[in-house]
Structure 1
Amino acid sequence: MDSEINTPSSNLLPDNDAQRILLHNEVHARPSQRIQLPALVIYVVVINAGITREQECEHLRRLPGQQALMPEQLQNNFLQLYLQDYVLRWERHTEFTRYALLQHLPENVQLGAIDPELLAYIALPQGWLAGIPGKTFAAIKLAMMEGELSQADKTLEQARNWFGGNRVVASLMGREGYSLAVTDFRLRPSGFERMLVIMSADASETRAGRVAQRLLEIETYRLMALKGLPFAKRLIPELTTAEQQLSDITAQLENKASSDQELLDTLIFLAARIERATVEHGYRFAATQAYNKLVIQRISELREKAIPGTPTIGEFMQRRLSPAIATVDATAQRMSYLSARVSRASALLRTRVDIQTETQNQQLLEKLTRGQELQLRLQSTVEGLSIAAISYYVISLLLYMAKAGKAAGLPIQPELLTGLMIPVVVWLVWRATRRIHDKFFKLP
């Protein structure tokens, strides 16, 4: 028989992946509790925001015989302590930590008891519950006992006494109705809810543990799912205002009543508000969906059967929880849809602004082109005038030189010689000007 693998590798296999052992043991991280009837479970859930494992470990050390408890023992987010008269279960989750005390139900607490107070029988040291680090989010007293379920309606009538006349919900659970769960989902002055489970005599300890776990998780996940509701209610007026602003912007976009740049600035501001709301509330709304799915799953695992005249736990959740979840869903979808609408409007407006900018740039470019053409024409005109002026001065100089030569006794006629040189001078000046012009335009 193979022994349990505790080492990171085996001589018969390649080296283990770094996460193999961790992932393999994950299914064993929180084993189901075995519960021997009659039993009392005191269950407390606290929000652990800002609370470290070290703080929770320090509080667990206050239990009898646990002074040597070290934070390393809490690294797996699960711990079960077996003390003299009770078992304490500690579980840490992302948002909350839960403590479950399991002890025997006092013998004098019977099925027909009228609104019995169970907190007086808690086996924990005085003040230990009140000192748990964190903020209380759920607290349940779950009593479990054996009873006759062949006539479930009569058993339910006895169980009603536990709830002091409050209206209750009840479910026969299992394919053969091996247990009956009764609760009223009401907070009592002590801060606790109360649940009662009656099981047939042949129910196993493992089955009792699973029933308790499912009922406690249903209430825990129900409350965690509802955490998104206050945020959704606060967000609804903001979304309504944002939708109206977007509608106004769209109307202005159609009739061009305002500057496109002003509309774009308004849209950017609106998009920033919606993005902020998404960042602040997106996780909470997604968590609501996840927790609601867990509630539905746990209820389906109960395999409920109704007792005529009394709603089941699943029916109660369907009527009371579903509208709240629908509100959160609608708010999340509304926020997402509004974000998409703002993005489309922004893209449309940006496109229009870009087209207008491109048109303006094209018009400016055309003006610059026309200016350059005029400048070239003017330059050509100036070049022509320059050729005439330069030629005039050169010919004048030649005339003076010819007159000077005649005065010196040279046999020349200054006017005739100058007249003959005019075409040559003009051509030479024009040629020199063109060469300078060509060199200028060939510069890099």
Structure 2
Amino acid sequence: MTTLFPIPENHPQRFVLHNEVHARAPVVLNLPVRASHLALLLSSDEKMQERQHLAKLCERFGVTPPEKDADHFSATFNSFQIRWEQHGEFSTYSFYVQDTPRDPFTDPALKKVPVDWMSQLRGQVIVAAHASIVSAADIDYDESADLGTLSAYFADNPVVGSKVTGGAASVFTDFRVHVDGFSRFLIINHGLRTAQAGRLLQRLFEIEVYRVMALLAFPIARKLYPALNKSDRQLYTITNAMTLPDNNDGKLLDELTTLAAEVENYISSNHFRFAAASAYYQLVEQRVNDLREVRIQGIQTLGEFIKRRLEPAVNTCESVSRRFTQLSERVSNASQLLRTRVDSLIERQNQALLSSMALRAKMQLRMQQMVEGISMVAITYYAASLTGKIAEALHAVGWKVNPEIVEGVSIPFILIIIAIGIKRIHKIIASTTDHH
């Protein structure tokens, strides 16, 4: 890319990162409008296949399909608009039809989508919702009148709702899945602009998806609760046994190691789900704040309803996750204490063994010295005897020597020679050992 100024070349990701702020822009809608939203949990293979499936829909209506590496896509077909987004764990499809019948939910936007294409969508439905933006006159809405009449659009269920986006609209829902398998949002337009309508629908659908995704960790937390209590009791039993004087430290250390492995397995297997639950809950809170709700007298706001129902479940997940982390730390501390005790015991045993070996070596040295003394006497005896025999032989041939005197006189000299020899041998052995 040529530039007007002689600045350094662009970073390879500069424009991608710069334009990220414009990604996933809300759909511009003409009011009134009906919308249907699907959130599907997909495997890695299904994520690859859904782009091809989306391309088939585009080919049918002569629309340019999304690029191979695209993770969001918006397009207008003959009778409806579509918005597709691919997230880390799920993909969402939003369908918009820009007209509204008398009953907001009798003819949902999804009916405009080709049935054969819909039947081949991949994945598992985690959220399905219909929404309809109508004017107050369309449904004879009067805020000052009894809001109980709105329950008729929600199978006579109690509704929650509020004014949103600075009073430009009122939103109502019952947060229930109806007989058609879809939840419902009714938006009454008091002065929404086209961009506001797209953003409002997007936020409502995201609240619905993120709150359900946050709750995916809740069944896991309830399932893990008994295992957590069992591991906690097991740790207490082990640490209590550690205080007893006649415990088997080796056996306790084996039990602690097994317990540590079990706890770490629980943590590593479920860490992602609990971390995701916390992240999704934060997104729900953010989207609720983005609605800028104003209370309608007599009913709960969406934020109040969600907080009251969702917060305890998320807190339970966080509590289980936190307790497992704390349990892991406690097991680690107990293991460290027990290893210190075992190491100390081994060190004392080694010291006792070394002391025993030193005493044995000292005794061997004394015995060796005693044997050397006896050996010197024996060698002297035999050497003196040999000297005496030699003297006798010399006397026999005529030498004037007394064999007994020669033998007796030779004894001190023989002792001195043997002592010097043994001392030299000791020096040779010592020098050889030092070199090695």
Normalised TM-score (structure 1):
0.92
1:125 aligns with 2:114: yes
Instruction: Work out the percentage of aligned pairs sharing the same amino acid.
Output: 35
What letter is aligned with 1:285?
F
Match of 2:145 in 1: 154
**Alignment partners' CA distance in 1, 2:269 and 2:374:** 76
1:327 aligns with 2:327: no
Match of 2:34 in 1: 40
Match of 2:199 in 1: 210
What letter is aligned with 1:23?
L
**Alignment partners' CA distance in 1, 2:59 and 2:283:** 36
Q: Deviations over 1:294-321 (max 9, x none)?
A: 0001111111111111111011011111
SS at match of 2:112: coil
Match of 1:25 in 2: 19
**Alignment partners' CA distance in 1, 2:327 and 2:148:** 52
The farther-off stretch of 155-164 and 205-214 is 155-164
Match of 1:222 in 2: 211
How far off is 1:438 after superposition? 1.9
Match of 2:407 in 1: 418
**Alignment partners' CA distance in 1, 2:4 and 2:313:** 52
SS at match of 1:186: coil
Inter-CA distance 274–228: structure 2 relative to 1 (3 Å threshold): same
Inter-CA distance 216–359: structure 2 relative to 1 (3 Å threshold): same
**Alignment partners' CA distance in 2, 1:69 and 1:245:** 63
Q: 8 Å contact 1:54–1:71 — kept in the other structure?
A: no
SS at match of 1:88: strand
Inter-CA distance 299–187: structure 2 relative to 1 (3 Å threshold): same
Q: 8 Å contact 1:45–1:97 — kept in the other structure?
A: yes
Q: 8 Å contact 1:146–1:199 — kept in the other structure?
A: yes
Higher helix share: 2
SS at match of 2:56: coil
Q: 8 Å contact 1:173–1:304 — kept in the other structure?
A: yes
Q: Deviations over 1:375-427 (max 9, x none)?
A: 10000001111111111111100101011101101121221222222211111
Match of 1:179 in 2: 169
Match of 2:237 in 1: 248
Match of 1:375 in 2: 364
What letter is aligned with 1:251?
N
Match of 1:73 in 2: 67
Match of 2:384 in 1: 395
Q: 8 Å contact 2:221–2:316 — kept in the other structure?
A: yes
1:195 aligns with 2:185: yes
**Alignment partners' CA distance in 1, 2:246 and 2:314:** 41
Q: 8 Å contact 2:164–2:291 — kept in the other structure?
A: yes
What letter is aligned with 2:302?
I
How far off is 1:150 after superposition? 10
Q: 8 Å contact 1:45–1:138 — kept in the other structure?
A: yes
Inter-CA distance 25–10: structure 2 relative to 1 (3 Å threshold): farther
**Alignment partners' CA distance in 2, 1:194 and 1:271:** 47
Match of 1:164 in 2: 155
SS at match of 1:154: coil
Q: 8 Å contact 2:63–2:75 — kept in the other structure?
A: no
Q: Deviations over 1:133-182 (max 9, x none)?
A: 1000000001012226995243845533211211111111133x111000
Inter-CA distance 206–158: structure 2 relative to 1 (3 Å threshold): farther
Q: 8 Å contact 2:128–2:181 — kept in the other structure?
A: yes
Identify unmatched segments of 5+ residues in structure 2.
none
**Alignment partners' CA distance in 1, 2:110 and 2:409:** 138
Inter-CA distance 17–216: structure 2 relative to 1 (3 Å threshold): same
Inter-CA distance 409–95: structure 2 relative to 1 (3 Å threshold): same
Inter-CA distance 321–369: structure 2 relative to 1 (3 Å threshold): same
**Alignment partners' CA distance in 2, 1:67 and 1:186:** 34
SS at match of 1:427: helix
1:104 aligns with 2:98: yes
Inter-CA distance 268–124: structure 2 relative to 1 (3 Å threshold): same
**Alignment partners' CA distance in 2, 1:96 and 1:85:** 26
1:285 aligns with 2:279: no
**Alignment partners' CA distance in 2, 1:305 and 1:339:** 45
Q: 8 Å contact 1:33–1:210 — kept in the other structure?
A: yes
1:354 aligns with 2:343: yes
Q: Deviations over 1:9-58 (max 9, x none)?
A: 98733222233233222212211111211101110000012444431022
Q: 8 Å contact 2:82–2:94 — kept in the other structure?
A: yes
**Alignment partners' CA distance in 1, 2:390 and 2:133:** 136
SS at match of 1:145: strand
When the two chains are superposed, the root-mean-square deviation of aligned CA atoms in Å is 2.2
Q: Deviations over 1:180-232 (max 9, x none)?
A: 000111111211111110111x3210111111111111111000000000110
How many equivalent pairs are there? Answer: 431
Normalised TM-score (structure 2):
0.93
Q: 8 Å contact 1:105–1:143 — kept in the other structure?
A: no
What letter is aligned with 1:413?
N
Identify unmatched segments of 5+ residues in structure 1.
1-6
Match of 1:3 in 2: none
**Alignment partners' CA distance in 1, 2:65 and 2:392:** 120
The farther-off stretch of 9-18 and 405-414 is 9-18
How far off is 1:129 after superposition? 2.6
